[in-house]
Amino acid sequence: MDRLLVVRCPDLLVDDEGGAGLRTLAGVLTAVEAYCPWVTAVRPGICSLPARGPARYFGGEDALVDLVRTAASAVTPAEVGIADGLFAAVLAARHGVVVPAGGTPTFLAPLPVGILGRSDLAELLDRLGVRTLGEFAALPDADILGRFGADGAHAHRVAGGRSGELADLRDPRTARLLDGGDPGGPVVAEPGFWGGASDADARAARCLATAQELLGPDGVVTAHLQGGRSPAERSRFVTWTDDGRPSARVADPGRGGPGPAPWPGRIPPPAPAVVHPDPVRAELADTRGEPVRVSSRGLLTLAPDRLSVEGGPWEPVSDWAGPWPADERWWSRSRRRAARLQAVTARSAHLLLVERGRWWVEATYG
Amino acid sequence: MFVSAPGRRLTRDLDPAALAALSALAERTRPVAASRTRLLPVLPALAGLLPDGALRRGSTLAVGGSGDDGALSLALSLVAAASASGSWCALVGHPGLGAVAARDLGVDLGRLALLPRPGPAWAEATAAVLEGVDLVVLCPPFPPRRDMARRLVARARERRGVLVVVPGRAGWPEPADLQLRIADAAWEGIDAGEGHLHRRRVTVTATGRRSAARPVHCGLWLPDADGRVSPADPPGAGG
């Protein structure tokens, strides 16, 4: 399960009509981006970032939490926490704690079932004398699906820390309003597939539903393409549903898209086959071991000679190209010197992102 | 852990030759409604690597290289024609699919279900998906136990699916019907800061069992400048 850091801003949790809350949240994103460029707006007042890579950079998870809390608190009151999976991480932020890796079930156990936000389920469980997530999680799997349905079964997995997030935890509109770069418009499923008329379709739908029972709804997804500059921006993963449509929470069309955009700064094709879902820390150095940086004019300060990924051994860089200026999201107030670079080593070719002097492996031409 | 299936006992106890004969018999006697074609199509550039010029249903392939050099791209290329011709495909255990690259290689993303992080239930999830999906690409997130691997191979055979394993660092303890290895990956298009990654030349070697035991070598652009896979002349021949 993803190790996530969540920033929770209590003053911004209510969706406001005028958009002041969103603008403030945008300020929080900008502030937090100083530590990790992969910040995602989850819903009003809440954003998250993958914790593993940045924690290694900043001397551990506690140090990262302190840095992010200080940065976000300069904008608005903010609570910060880390746990496995989004559901637990939001609660960890609420309590201002770092839940150790693997400790999520223990952390969740004493919390009331009402926290799942399913009042019918909570009422039912209350009648059975089940009041905490731990008690709920202890109920045998076999009894859950028949009694509480698919959503209940998934909530059961979340309560036990076996699945990371509830289906309605994310508000796609928030992310979209803040991203400002989604020309995709509504997601329309191609007619006649996922449970369509044919035998093969029905068979596939059945077995994928089985896999979803096993892994939770978000365990089975499909990829959809959209506009954007970076490889990560250009695809979107949508929870698979067998009613022939991607799930409504992502299919929400939101605003009409502006149509195809030129996306200046896009890396020329071919596209990388692997886009790392968590940022991978990297170091890039010249022949003397000096770190390579990008100048204010968008040029490399030194010629790259060697690359280290995730603190691994130095590998010679046989070839490289770039830098290309990386995207600046519209809310960024400060001008950032972010850029992308292609680097080839004996084993692989990577797309690197540099921001504020820190290098990340964003994608690999696997 | 696995849903019980008829034939499982057989697949454990019989020797491979008897098993092959049995599955051939099963194929012939399968009711017409349930019988699907024996082969799944592949892109023309890959046909030369496969003994039938296509993917044989019920078979298991292993795709690997020495590094990150093209194994996923090759596996996705194998998915391309099948998905485009309407077969259901799945990618299990790879959390970072580059969807643009997959599309450019020819994959119909609408026919590709992704199970990016199956966790400890990966083998069970793969077995479930093999029940109804024609082609499953598996990147085991953990080193598979031999009995797990064997059961998945048997499941693919019983359900007439194709299992494409990308062992990566986790490894794969079972011999595959066909092993595709990637070597000599070399990128063109960049040089000391100039240009951009343009295309990658690889040599793919296919080694099979029985009739396909003699290795077949094939030069490919994986990807070519358009992000597709296309045949490449041998190095030095001017391609």
**Segment A136-176, tens digit of pLDDT:** 999 988 888 888 888 888 899 999 998 888 877 777 677 66
ipTM higher than the 0.85 cut? no
**The token pair that represents B17 in the structure block:** 């030759």
Residue type present at position A318 = S
Min mean pLDDT across A65-74, A123-132, B107-116, B164-173 is at A123-132
Nearest chain A residue (CA) to B107: A223
CB contact under 8 A, A215 and B121: yes
Q: Is B31 helix (H, G, I), strand (E, B) or coil?
A: coil
The answer to whether A174 and A42 are in contact (CB under 8 A) is yes
Residue type present at position A273 = A
Q: Residue A89: enclosing H or E segment and its boundaries?
A: helix A86-95
**Segment A89-106, tens digit of pLDDT:** 999 999 899 999 999 999
Comparison of pLDDT for A11 and B99, the residue scoring more: B99
A236 beta partners: A224
Instruction: Assign A193 a pLDDT band (cuts: 50, 70, 90).
Output: very low
Instruction: Assign A1 a pLDDT band (cuts: 50, 70, 90).
Output: confident
**Segment B7-41, tens digit of pLDDT:** 333 344 445 555 555 455 444 443 333 334 688 98
Instruction: Using an 8 Å CB-CB cutoff, list chain B residues near A231.
Output: 98, 100
Task: Write down the pLDDT at residue A261.
Answer: 41
**The token pair that represents A282 in the structure block:** 């990297």
Is the whole-model pTM more than 0.80?
no
Percent of chain A with pLDDT over 70: 82
Instruction: Using an 8 Å CB-CB cutoff, list chain A residues near B114.
Output: 220-223, 237
Among A177, A180, A186, A275, residue whose Cα is nearest residue A228:
A180
Task: Write down the pLDDT at residue B86.
Answer: 84
**Segment A213-244, tens digit of pLDDT:** 999 888 999 998 877 667 777 788 888 876 54
Comparison of pLDDT for A144 and A345, the residue scoring more: A345
CA distance A304 to A293: 9
CB contact under 8 A, B113 and A220: yes
Task: Write down the pLDDT at residue A248.
Answer: 33
